Copies of this chain bind each other. A is one copy, B any other.
Amino acid sequence: MKIGILGTGIVGRTHATKLAELGHEVKMGTRSVEKTLAEDKPDMMGNEPFVAWQNKNSKVKLVSFDQAAEFAEIIFNVIKGEVVLKAFENLNKEHLNNKVIIDLSNALDFSKGMPPLLLTHDGNSIGEQLQQLLPKSKVVKTLNTLSASLQVNPKMLADGNHQIFMSGNDSEAKKLVETILKSYGWQDILDLGDITTARGTELLMPFWLRLWSVLGTTTFNYKIIK
């Protein structure tokens, strides 16, 4: 399929690599192609500049947000949570209409040190706000509850015996997302219901951050025992 990834950070790159490996055509969108190509230092998490990464992933093309959205049959939103709505407000809505938007975002404030503070609270999930902003698109919230490397390769942990959650209003859209998740290796996908259920998963990040701290690794995930 033709996949547009909006955002060029580590999460987007991880999905881009995996999706290209799986045979999809991938374009990554950025606010300014020029600026993204001009990056010459690692980011705050130590990830290499975009150009260095792209040299190893030459099938993936870098374009503007609008161009990536126009190209895409499915859109991955990996824009930083704190600026997602602003970024989407500025996009050409015609390129988003009727498309599935997989929303992976979490809004974090790093300005007060580590661990970052979650900017959302119960009642204002990014997933819901994005769906309200784009009533003709089909927003599916998923993949926002674990590390990027586990997102695309769940079997690296406990042979995949852990869970991924999904929220969205459109059942056809969720079926499509499920297909992609299964192609990554996900076996246990829990559909929480409509997009308002994103309130649940978007509030998990502070817990995840403490688990990271106490477990000393990001290679962990949730499983609901029932």
Contact = CB atoms under 8 A, between A and B. Distances in A.
A122 interface: yes
A190 B120 CA distance: 26
Interface string A190-226: 1111000101110110111111011101011111111
Interface stretch (A68-76, A157-165, A169-177): A157-165
Interface string A88-108: 000000000000000000000
Number of copies: 2
A114 to B, nearest CB: 12
Nearest to A211: B224
A220 B213 contact: no
Given A158-B225, A206-B122, A225-B222, A214 B201 contact: no
Nearest to A200: B207
Chain A interface size band reads 35 or more
A135 interface: no
15 contacts: A117-B123, A121-B121, A122-B206, A162-B225, A193-B213, A199-B210, A203-B203, A203-B204, A204-B204, A217-B226, A219-B226, A220-B225, A220-B226, A222-B224, A223-B225
